[in-house]
Structure 1
Amino acid sequence: MIRPEPGLRPIDELRANVAAPFERARAMPKSVYTSPEFLAQEQEHIFAREWLCAGRADTLPDPGDYLTMEIAGEPIIVLRDRDGQLRALSNVCRHRMSTLLDGRGNTRAIVCPYHAWTYNLDGSLRGAPAMTLNEGFCKQDTALPQVRCTDWLGWIMVTLNPDAPPPQQTLARLDQLVGDFHMENYHEAFRQDFHWATNWKVLAENFMESYHLPVCHAGTIGHTVDLEKMTCPEGEPGFNYHYILKNDALDLTLAHPTNTTLQGDARRTTWLISVYPSLMITLSPGYFWYLSLTPDGPGHVNVTYGGGLAPEFVSDPKAQEHFVRLQELLDAVNQEDKGCVEKVYRGLCADLSAPGPLSHLERPNYDFARYIASRIPE
């Protein structure tokens, strides 16, 4: 049984936590991970208000290509319309409110599986069987609600918030930092969805710090990093980041010989980027991979996971071999992370556990805690 400090709500505990300077920072209080009430606040004030990532734009190349997602309990369709534009629509029929599409695929029209009401790819209603005798029904006035959607550097970003500033504005500083990588040109080779037994913030924090790499990832990528060569600057309002100078142990982390854009240390620099609230990107000169997170109760997280290669590796005669190697590597990395983050959640649910002090290599975690605290109102 987890016992919060008497008289303090989780947000009060979190604000007290982040009031300390980074030099005396500790991990977030346990209640912000385990409280259903705090999660409800996160859903309302973070996930329903911020831009979330639906995946990569290059995975929806053709008209009718679609994927589905859920934002704070709201089912959403993201698709490529007849004009080649990305759209996001409500995934709920305007008749008896059945959900419409599942998973991913391609469709010429959106057909309700309950009564066959049919919508065009722009959300307008094409047809509704046996509705001619209802005098109040007007096909022209019935359409799927539109949801804001944009392509930001190759990422499909979606929000329910009509007033959220566009990511092109809030993440302009990030584009300045990594613009020479041109991640909009990277090609996604694989995408999966999975469900882990941990809080979404535990997984986000795990991605934000590379302190754990030599131990948790000893069997995969731990040997490619040196803790002394990690730089963890102070985060920005919309994201945090750190970067690592990689050694030559894995060729895919380095710039391809035909890459003439990146120079000097940039040819071996891997960026770990956390776009708030829940898009986690590893960007190297040779490949990228990402996690997009949504909570499923305090103790579970839904994860969209994908990855791919820089255009120079895609054009390489051994491209297919590179794709296979990359996915095998990252699948193994994910399994290592799964073990770590599920252990953390079990541990923070224990009575005798308590948040400990942060390393200087966990600066992004501190900035993330401050972001969370800033979004939950009094």
Structure 2
Amino acid sequence: MTRHDTTLTPLEELRQNVGVPFERALAMPKSVYTSPEFAAQEMQHIFAKDWLCAGRADALPNPGDYLTMQISGEPIIVLRDRDGQLRAMSNVCRHRMSTLLEGRGNTRSIVCPYHAWTYNLDGTLRGAPAMALNENFCRDQIALPKVRCQEWLGWIMVTLNPDAPDPREKLAEVEALVGKLHMENYTEAFREEFRWTTNWKVLAENFMESYHLPVCHAGTIGGTVDLMKMTCPEGLPAFNYHYILKNDSLALALAHPTNTRLEGDERRTTWLISIYPSLMITLTPGYFWYLCLTPDGPGHVNVLFGGGLAPEFVADPQAQESFAQLKVLLDEVNIEDKGCVEKVYRGLCSGMSSPGPLSHLERPNFDFARYIAGMIPD
């Protein structure tokens, strides 16, 4: 049996791939990116089981503010209720099963666009027209199914899994690693969505390694990176990370002069944190940006892209112009990444392509592959 025996299933190929020491590891096998069957297994065993991110909690500041998302094919509403608490619930009417809300917005109640069944912000049914003659109808017994929702360090975390460990427990090591930056106090300045023609894991892996920066981002940030000064520690079960020490070329990437919590290199460290399966955070002492990934079959990924500023820079009127310039740069970097990850997916679909050995700078990719292999059962 060879390492790329075509009689193996994608999961068997993947487990064989991660069953060697990292120093001998190859990139993930092509089948785990291109197989529709494997994509369905990921939806069932990863996206329906683990915690997913719906964005930042400060994107829903007021009662009635809501956003919608899909988790493993399930339409979900996330909203701020009248008591100021975050809630998540099914976005499907309990009558004839129309979806209810779309996009983002603010609402006093949830009204079905099909027959005007109306729900309170806690999901209970408020009213339903012309139902008095149905003997089985009992308004008090009808409500939108609840979905677990937690705020964690300013992030909205949602899961369909009633048994998933609390994110505060599962991600305690993240807080231990970057807690001094107080990510929960950063303020979102933009939130956008787009769809790219690549597998979600290609984009996740692209974020996880900075090996590609000098070439893929030669027109933007590539010249600011010294690969030999980059540190890629072994990942943890729920996430991986690496970090870069930044120079003084971008003031927003450094701690604000009024920030007295951070000292020494802490004031110039950029953290790249990949929380499994699909929340990717770039966190600096001055700003952050993030990606939340939702697979759309093997060959497409829906991306939530957002970012903002640390509180010291929010309070600094001069920082707004600098952040606007930074946003232009981030958009340019996104364009470069889109080109790279879509090329990778086209290559994965080629008959003559095969995975090659990993650099020491791609340690996070190997840890990510181990996570995926461990989440999908036989």
TM-score, reference length from structure 1: 0.98
Cα deviation, residue 332, structure 1: 1.0
Structure 1 letter corresponding to 2:270? T
2-structure distance, mates of 1:7, 1:339: 33
Counterpart of 1:362 in structure 2 is 362
Counterpart of 1:34 in structure 2 is 34
Counterpart of 2:243 in structure 1 is 243
| Pairs within 5 Å for 1:158-307 | 158-307=158-307
Structure 2 letter corresponding to 1:231? T
Counterpart of 2:331 in structure 1 is 331
Task: Indicate if the aligned counterparts of 1:34 and 1:299 stay in contact, CA closer than 8 A.
Answer: yes
Structure 2 letter corresponding to 1:51? W
- Percent same amino acid among aligned pairs? 79
Please, what is the CA RMSD of the aligned residues? Answer: 0.8
Task: Indicate if the aligned counterparts of 2:256 and 2:285 stay in contact, CA closer than 8 A.
Answer: yes
Task: Indicate if the aligned counterparts of 1:79 and 1:88 stay in contact, CA closer than 8 A.
Answer: yes
SS at match of 1:88: strand
SS at match of 2:28: coil
Counterpart of 1:148 in structure 2 is 148
2:313 is equivalent to residue 313 of structure 1:
yes
Unaligned 5+ segments in structure 2 are: none
Task: Indicate if the aligned counterparts of 1:308 and 1:326 stay in contact, CA closer than 8 A.
Answer: no
Cα deviation, residue 160, structure 1: 0.1
2-structure distance, mates of 1:63, 1:314: 23
1-structure distance, mates of 2:186, 2:225: 23
1-structure distance, mates of 2:233, 2:355: 23
Task: Indicate if the aligned counterparts of 2:118 and 2:125 stay in contact, CA closer than 8 A.
Answer: yes
Structure 2 letter corresponding to 1:300? H
Task: Indicate if the aligned counterparts of 1:116 and 1:128 stay in contact, CA closer than 8 A.
Answer: yes
Cα deviation, residue 259, structure 1: 1.0
2-structure distance, mates of 1:174, 1:211: 23
Counterpart of 1:114 in structure 2 is 114
Task: Indicate if the aligned counterparts of 2:270 and 2:284 stay in contact, CA closer than 8 A.
Answer: yes
Cα deviation, residue 324, structure 1: 1.1
2-structure distance, mates of 1:219, 1:258: 33
1-structure distance, mates of 2:42, 2:151: 25
Task: Indicate if the aligned counterparts of 2:252 and 2:323 stay in contact, CA closer than 8 A.
Answer: no
Task: Indicate if the aligned counterparts of 2:75 and 2:90 stay in contact, CA closer than 8 A.
Answer: yes
TM-score, reference length from structure 2: 0.98
Structure 2 letter corresponding to 1:327? K
Cα deviation, residue 107, structure 1: 0.4
Task: Indicate if the aligned counterparts of 1:313 and 1:322 stay in contact, CA closer than 8 A.
Answer: no
1-structure distance, mates of 2:301, 2:348: 16
Structure 2 letter corresponding to 1:367? D
User: How big is each residue's C-alpha offset from its partner over 1:46-82, in whole Å with a ceiling of 9 and x where there is no partner?
Assistant: 0000000000000100000000000000000000000
Cα deviation, residue 315, structure 1: 0.5
Structure 1 letter corresponding to 2:353? S
Cα deviation, residue 260, structure 1: 0.9
User: How big is each residue's C-alpha offset from its partner over 1:332-361, in whole Å with a ceiling of 9 and x where there is no partner?
Assistant: 111110000000000111111110000000
1-structure distance, mates of 2:39, 2:273: 23
1-structure distance, mates of 2:186, 2:339: 29
Misfit runs of 4+, over 4 Å: none
Cα deviation, residue 223, structure 1: 2.4
Unaligned 5+ segments in structure 1 are: none
1-structure distance, mates of 2:18, 2:256: 42
User: How big is each residue's C-alpha offset from its partner over 1:220-277, in whole Å with a ceiling of 9 and x where there is no partner?
Assistant: 2222221111110000010000001111121111111111111000111000000000
User: How big is each residue's C-alpha offset from its partner over 1:141-181, in whole Å with a ceiling of 9 and x where there is no partner?
Assistant: 00000000000000000000000001100100110000001
1-structure distance, mates of 2:288, 2:326: 9
Q: How many aligned residue pairs are there?
A: 375
